[in-house]
Structure formats: C-alpha cells, structure tokens
Amino acid sequence: MDGLITPGTESLPPPPQPGRKHFILGCLGIGLGLFLAFFHAWAWSYGSMGAEAWGYAGGAAMLPALIAFAIAGRKSVRNFNRFGIWFSGLSLFFFIVSSKHPVSLQQHIGDLMKEAAGTKAVDNSGPGALDNLVRDMMRGILDDRKAFETETQPLSADLGKLYSAESFSSQEAVQRIINATHAIVAADERYSKQLEGIPDRMQATVDRSSFSESDKKGFMEGLRKSYGNAKTLQIRRQAMETESQWEVATVDLYKFAEANATKIRVQGTKLMIGDEGIRNQFNERFRKARGLRDDLAAMNTQLEGAQRAALQDEGLTLRDLGLGENEQPGKK
C-alpha cells in the first residue's frame, strides 16, 4: 500500500539559476571600458606606457566607474549587467569628449620645440615627463645656438672685409682679420663640441627622470642612434676639417702680407705689389685661402639645406625656433 503524502512536504523543483548571459554582458562592458581607458592613455603618451601613462589610464577609468557604480553598483540597485553597460557607455562618452584632435608624434615633437623656443604657449595636456624632457633638451640646444650667435655677431664687420684691399691697408687692419679668423674658428669648435656632446648631456637628464630603467635605456639608445647618424652632424664634421685648413691658409696669407708690408701698397680697391717674386707668392697664398673659403661656403650652404630639410620634416622653420640667419663664414 502506498504511503500517504503529507501536504506541504513534497519536494520542490530547484530555483532557476541566473543565466550566463547576465555575467558575460557585464564583463564585456567592463572590458570595453578598461580598453578605452588604456587606449586613451596609450594615445596620450604616444605609445610610451610608463608609470605616468598607467596613472592616466587609471584616472580615465575612475570617473565612469564611479558614475556607473552610483547608477547600478550600490547594494540597493546592484545589477552587474547594467553596471558593465553604463561603465562602457560612459567610458566611450568621456573618451570622445576629452580626446583632442589627434596629432602625430612628429608634429607633437615640433610643437614642443616651439614651446621650448617660446614661440608657442606651453601645453601641459600631454605626457608630462616626456614633454618636459624634450622641452629641456631643446632649451639647452637653443641656448647654445643663441650664445654662439651672440659670440660671433661682433666678428661680422671684420670678416666682411676678408681678402679686400682695405684688410691689407695697415698692420692694425691685418691683425684684426687674423684675430677675427682665429675667433670664428674657436667659436665654431666650441659650438661643435656642444653639439657632439648633446647625447651625453641628455643622458644625465634622463638618469634624473622618473622613467623606468627600461624606458631610460630605450630612449637613450634611440637618441644616440638617430642623432649620431644625423646628416647635419656629418656635414658639420667635414666642414670643421675644411675650416681648420682655411684658418691656417688665411692667417698665413695675412702674416705674409704683414711681413712684406713695405712692398704692398693699397690703391683704391686694388693691391699694388711691384716685386714680382713677392707678388707671385702672395697670389699663391691668396688663391689657396680663397679656394678653401669657397669650399667652406659650399659646405655651409649644404649644411643650411640639411638643417632646413630636418626642420621641415618637423613642420618647423628657423623663425619658429626664434633663430635668425647666421651670416658668418663659420657654420651653424
């Protein structure tokens, strides 16, 4: 005989379990929001995901997360699916409204160079550590260049008379040319050493920065490789060799003229040398010095062209960097 079933004691079917879709949609929404925060930081830092960029990513995710939590994360209204959707939607909204018109890294570096030169207002919205590093580097380079121009500008008057009859008119005139020749070459050599030493100076700055050791190493390796292979630096090295030869030849010419001052006479814009032997020796020295100066001028023109091309690659001109044209026979 079957047993009796007491009412209320029969087994009940298990309660329905939440569907997996509920959990998956929430995870997808959170994943999308975090991706947008990371991508925003990656674009902001131009691909350099250091500690500052990760902090930026955290900040980009914080506000939409707080708003989404207030809407769907509090205990009284908690809904994981709604939280994920709100978080992703808000992340997308803030990404759109807070992202400036994207510029290339090359254009960004060009803007930083203008800021360093003072021809553009400083924009602190970019990655601070990297931007400050580039600005400081450019300020140092521009300060060196302006100091070079200030040092060599007073030499213009004497060097502008180089090889003219007037420059041989007296012992004082001859000595001024010799002094100016030595001075322009010495200034060029000091400036060239400063340019050659930029990577080492930058190394000290990078070592003091907040970059990770791997970022420091990568930055300096890239800088040394690109800077060492720069066309302008290669042309300058060649020009310095020619300038050294030009200095020797020019000083030799004027010292020869000084030693034979009694046989050299200035008549208007011409030099009169009656002694044929002295005249031949003078002309030989003159042609050598003048030829080396022409070679140096050609290299200077080549260097200026390479500099302009390098600046144009960054969308810049000398005016953007607050620099004028150098009219000295030395180089930029």
164 phi/psi in degrees, rounded to 5: -80, 160
Give the mean pLDDT of 246-252: 97
- Predicted confidence at residue 307, as pLDDT, reads 83
Q: Give tens-digit pLDDT for 225-242.
A: 777 778 888 899 999 999
pLDDT beyond 70 at 182: yes
Cβ–Cβ < 8 Å for 201, 140: yes
Least confident of 65-74, 223-232, 285-294, 299-308: 65-74
According to the per-residue pLDDT averaged within each range, which of 90-99, 124-133, 193-202, 303-312 is highest? 193-202
- Rounded distance, CA 78 to CA 26, Å? 12
Tokens of 12: 């009940």
Between 209 and 92, where is the model more confident?
209
Domain that holds residue 282: 107-193+226-321
Q: Within this chain, do residues 185 and 129 fall inside the same structural domain, yes or no?
A: yes
Confidence band of 94 (pLDDT split at 50, 70, 90): low
- Predicted confidence at residue 1, as pLDDT, reads 43
Cβ–Cβ < 8 Å for 210, 281: no
Between 91 and 188, where is the model more confident?
188
* Residue percentage of the chain with pLDDT more than 70: 67
Q: Which residues pair with 272 in a beta bridge?
A: 265
pLDDT beyond 80 at 149: yes
- Predicted confidence at residue 171, as pLDDT, reads 93
Between helix 51-72 and helix 20-44 the angle, nearest 10°, is 140
pLDDT beyond 60 at 298: yes
Least confident of 85-89, 210-214, 277-281, 292-296: 85-89
Q: Within this chain, do residues 54 and 84 fall inside the same structural domain, yes or no?
A: yes
Pairing relation of β-strands 264-267 and 270-273?
antiparallel
Domain boundary among 49, 78, 100: 100
pLDDT beyond 80 at 29: no
Q: Within this chain, do residues 42 and 163 fall inside the same structural domain, yes or no?
A: no
Give the mean pLDDT of 279-284: 95
- Asked if residue 16 is part of any domain, the answer here is no
How many structural domains does the chain have?
Answer: 2
- Give the global pTM: 0.67
pLDDT beyond 50 at 140: yes
Q: Within this chain, do residues 46 and 188 fall inside the same structural domain, yes or no?
A: no
Q: Within this chain, do residues 174 and 317 fall inside the same structural domain, yes or no?
A: yes
- Predicted confidence at residue 256, as pLDDT, reads 96
Element (H, E) at 264: strand 264-267
Confidence band of 82 (pLDDT split at 50, 70, 90): low
Q: Within this chain, do residues 232 and 302 fall inside the same structural domain, yes or no?
A: yes
- Rounded distance, CA 187 to CA 243, Å? 12
pLDDT beyond 60 at 4: no
Between 63 and 19, where is the model more confident?
63
> How many C-beta neighbours within 10 Å does residue 127 have?
19
